[in-house]
Amino acid sequence: MEALNRPERRPVFAEIASLDAIYHGAQEPGQLAAHVMVRDENWKYIWNRFDIDELYDLNTDPGEMNNIADDSEHLNRVASMRDQIVEMICHTGPGPYEWCLLESEKNE
């Protein structure tokens, strides 16, 4: 039996509005572009504009109850996943997510 040709694994991105935009109809660009999420294999990182960032190991925490973004052992993973988001935004054009690029430049 032939081995299946599986596509190369690639990260998945999502852009998410703020709760104020979702539930209360806020239309300001900052509210419509409040979060960016990347999932890469078993890791999920959410870059939050107005709140703390989130990182979850979906193998050990599928319910996303234990945010490990601030754990020192995961700082490199957070930086790497932020870089993935910045790269994606550079390819698609920043639009309302320019804040990610500005924040990234501040941290360099």
Contact (Cβ atoms closer than 8 angstroms) between residue 17 and residue 89: no
Which 3 state secondary structure label does DSSP give 82?
A: helix
User: What digits encode the pLDDT tens for the residues 65-102?
Assistant: 999 999 999 999 999 999 999 999 999 888 888 999 99
Contact (Cβ atoms closer than 8 angstroms) between residue 55 and residue 78: yes
Alpha-carbon Rg for the chain, nearest whole angstrom, is 16
pLDDT over 80 at 12, yes or no:
yes
Domains in the chain (CATH in brackets) are 12-106 (3.30.1120.10)
The more confident residue out of 29 and 84 is 84
Tokens at 58, concatenated: 């979906």
pLDDT recorded at residue 37: 95
pLDDT band per the 50, 70, 90 thresholds, residue 2: low
Residue-averaged pLDDT of the chain: 90
pLDDT over 60 at 17, yes or no:
yes
Contact (Cβ atoms closer than 8 angstroms) between residue 27 and residue 12: no
